[in-house]
Amino acid sequence: MKKLTFISLLVIAFTGIIYFASQMIERAQGTSGSDVFHLYNWGDYIDPDLLTQFEEETGYRVVYETFDSNEAMYTKVDQGGTSYDLTIPSEYMIERMIDEDLLVPLDHSRIEGLNHINDDFLDLSFDPGNQYSIPYFWGTLGIAYNEDLISNLELSSWESLFDPALENSILMIDGAREVIGIGLQSNGYSLNSKNEKELEEAANTLVDLAPNIKALVADEIKMYMIQEEAAVAVTYSGEAADMMWENESIVYVLPAEGSNLWFDNMVIPRTVQNEDAAYAFINFMLDPEVAAQNADYVGYSTPNESAMSYLPEETIEDEQFYPSQEMINQLEVYEDLGPEYTGIYNEMFLEFKMIK
């Protein structure tokens, strides 16, 4: 018994030494401490100059890490191995993280500038009362195509992507919800369907689309389209805006059948170590001039109504990026499907990738 106790004490002591050493290493590398802010964000999703400005104005040092999917972000936060102070998930993932107690409820008395956000982006179903999240960007999923490379085709719907003339020509975003969603909406079904017959029909539809898919890619989709390595891409509105800026032959359309309307919001995860820095960053990003600069750099639509006066007129008048209410009514927001159907969608997506 004494031997077991002694061994237990050794294990505890050894664990403590390892933890203390890791903390010392982090401090030496400048990645922990009261003046450090850990931001976990999508790739290329903030103007780097704003990070520098935030550091200069607040005195915090930003440790910046990126993810390429909501699911990858969720896994890291759920595991809790890294002390992220703020991250920026999408609406359906925010809903899931709230349900699983992975987010810290916000203290609205510490938030300045929420009045700048358009009411249409507040108090949404995935976070009533914005108890856990603050709007960052919003946008759509649509079709970007190079007019010079497909001059004889009109791409105005998901159905148009099935044209045999597009064989091996389409870059598809590498995401289960997006891909399965195309199969569903092509048949007139909801992006959030849990109907087995509808899902089976969507899977069969995607088999017909497979010959036209050149590759499933993530951030590289922008570079490939700009360099004209593909004629068509299923992509997000902000990525399309960057493509169009670099290549004037590229246009972006919202499919006639409808598409995804998404929202990305700032949240404080349970891994937070520096709440003061997290609130400072939220307040910084709510400043209209900062929000406008970020929107101009990233290319996505800002929910900050006060920022609109700082953006070019041609930007805010472009209905592909700031759709009319009539167009928005044709769009659908992803909902959290729950563990069972999330697994089903992921399995369907993997099967589609194997076909491709």
Q: Is 224 found in the same domain as 165?
A: yes
For residue 302, pLDDT beyond 70:
yes
- CATH number of the domain at 164, please: 3.40.190.10
Q: Structural domain tally of the chain? A: 2
- φ, ψ (nearest 5 deg) of residue 175: -150, 135
Do residues 90 and 123 share a domain? yes
Mean pLDDT (the chain) is: 90
CB-based contact 277:40 (threshold 8 Å): no
278 shares a domain with 177: no
Residues 172 and 94 in one domain: no
| pLDDT value of position 8 | 44
pTM, 2 dp: 0.81
Residues 213 and 127 in one domain: no
The reply to whether 350 and 253 lie within a common domain is: yes
Residues 91 and 101 in one domain: yes
Which residue did the predictor score with more confidence, 319 or 22?
319
d(CA 208, CA 211): 7
Is the confidence at residue 7, as pLDDT, over 50?
no
Residues 274 and 133 in one domain: yes
Does one domain contain both 17 and 87? Answer: yes
Task: Indicate whether 211 and 150 sit together in one domain.
Answer: yes
Q: What does the pLDDT look like over 224-265, one tens digit per residue?
A: 999 999 999 999 998 998 899 999 999 999 999 999 999 999
Q: What is the dihedral of CA 227, 230, 233, 239, to 10 degrees?
A: -10
Q: What is the pLDDT of residue 32?
A: 56
- Domain with 172, as residue range(s), is 139-261+323-355
Residues 344 and 253 in one domain: yes
User: β-pairing, 133-146 with 232-236?
Assistant: antiparallel
Residues 150 and 126 in one domain: no
